[in-house]
Amino acid sequence: MAKGQENSNHNPAVVDISEVEVIAPNFKRRLSGVTSTIIQLVPVQRALGCKVAALGPGLPDTIPHIRFRDLVCLWRRPRSGKTRVWHARRNVEMLPAILMRDILRMPLKIVFTSASQRRHTGWTKWLVSRMDAVVATSGRTATYLNVPNTVVMHGIDTKRFSPPQDKAAARAALGLDPTQNIVGCFGRVRHQKGTDLFVDTMITLLPTRPDWTAIVAGRATGPHVDYEKQLSEKIAKAGLADRILFVGEHTNINDWYRALDLFVAPQRWEGFGLTPLEAMATGVPVVATDVGAFPELIITGEAETGAVITATLDAMVSATAEFMDDDVRREAASARALSHAATNFSIEGEVRRLGEVYTSL
């Protein structure tokens, strides 16, 4: 597509396919972790020199992208002469790439990123076996793969997720009591995410800790609305409706992290899980369950940035209470968490490591 044609679309985010070397397909309309990953990665990849564009529904119009009709151009290499990379993150994105490469003979290399922490089905194993390169989002995920792979852990925007200059002011700006310590749990409200574990932990701990308030930030959808209602009723019955607050879903979630003194990630299952990274980048220590990539994100022991526990009420109550009751330990973990996230988990670092995978092809 020529430059003039691009302008005629009235959307400067439509990218000339002849300039694209990496395609990031998103073949699912509903917002998911994969969609969020693409939305965050593509602009940073382009800023750092990667000629990448997204493809598919469910993405903001502002994300640099190509159109489905541009796929007929994939028989021709990009202007640079390189072989294009198709970076799939779901089965539904691997299959068409295999057809284009092996049946239509388009010059493509296919990369697949796996975040799964369970054994793949036979169908998925076959698809993965046809990939030119495989990326695992954690060491634990890599153990479930039967093919050579490269571990590239997710990163976050450490400029967006950063500590406030004045934590009391950050709380006040959100309508929270600036004199209270705040412990938070962020994410979708549902059983899988362990929201009830967090609520039960707070019901146990808050009555004897009047200087602490708990907030749950996130949304309950569909069948999980009743689950949230039952939790709210339990909180009211415990007389803590003014101290365990459900604040809903927010696009400025980084501002809510800045109000926190402690973050709890109570998930019963997780593919990767970015919330502990977002908290640590904001200078907030984390108590997290032993799921997803959490044990690989959080440092425990002498140089702790938080604690990793089993997904049980007793373990969560014990670990959370220890941080709530020890200001010195919490503040030391906060400083280490900030440094750890900035050094090891910036989104720019993730982009560079993915770039190395692309270059190898």
pLDDT of residue 119: 85
pLDDT of residue 268: 96
Question: pLDDT in tens for each of the 361 residues of the chain?
Answer: 344 444 445 577 999 999 999 999 999 877 677 888 899 999 999 999 999 999 999 888 899 999 999 999 999 999 999 999 999 999 999 999 999 999 999 999 999 999 888 888 999 999 999 999 999 999 999 999 999 999 999 999 999 999 999 999 999 999 999 999 999 999 999 999 999 999 999 999 999 999 999 999 999 999 999 999 999 999 999 999 999 999 999 989 999 999 999 999 999 998 888 999 999 999 999 999 999 899 999 999 999 999 999 999 999 999 999 999 999 999 999 999 999 999 999 999 999 999 999 999 9
Total-model pTM: 0.87
Give the count of beta carbons closer than 10 Å to the beta carbon of residue 80. Answer: 12
Closest CA to 112 of 150, 140, 68: 150
Q: Which residues, 6 or more positions from 312, have their beta carbon under 8 angstroms from its beta carbon?
A: 197
What is the rounded distance in angstroms from the CA atom of residue 169 to the CA atom of residue 186?
A: 21
190, two tokens:
């549902």
Looking at the DSSP assignment, which residues form a beta bridge with residue 56? none
- DSSP H or E segment with residue 286: strand 286-289
Separation of first and last alpha carbons in the chain: 26
Cα angle: 302, vertex 306, 311; to 5 degrees: 120
Distance of CA 19 to CAs 43, 71, 77, 133, 311, Å?
15, 13, 9, 22, 48
pLDDT of residue 251: 87
* Phi, psi at 212, each rounded to 5°: -120, 140
Give the count of beta carbons closer than 10 Å to the beta carbon of residue 322. Answer: 13
3-class DSSP state of 217: strand
Residue with tokens 């995410």: 193
Q: What is the 3-state secondary structure (H, E, C) of 237-284?
A: HCCCCCCEEEEECCCCHHHHHCCCCEEEECCCCCCCCCHHHHHHHCCC
Task: Work out the burial of residue 218: count CB atoms within 10 Å of its CB; fewer than 13 is exposed, 13-18 middle, 19 or more buried.
Answer: buried
Rg of the chain's alpha carbons, rounded to an integer?
22
Distance of CA 209 to CAs 183, 200, 201, 341, Å?
12, 15, 12, 29
142, two tokens:
């890599």
Confirm if 202 and 266 have CB atoms less than 8 A apart: no
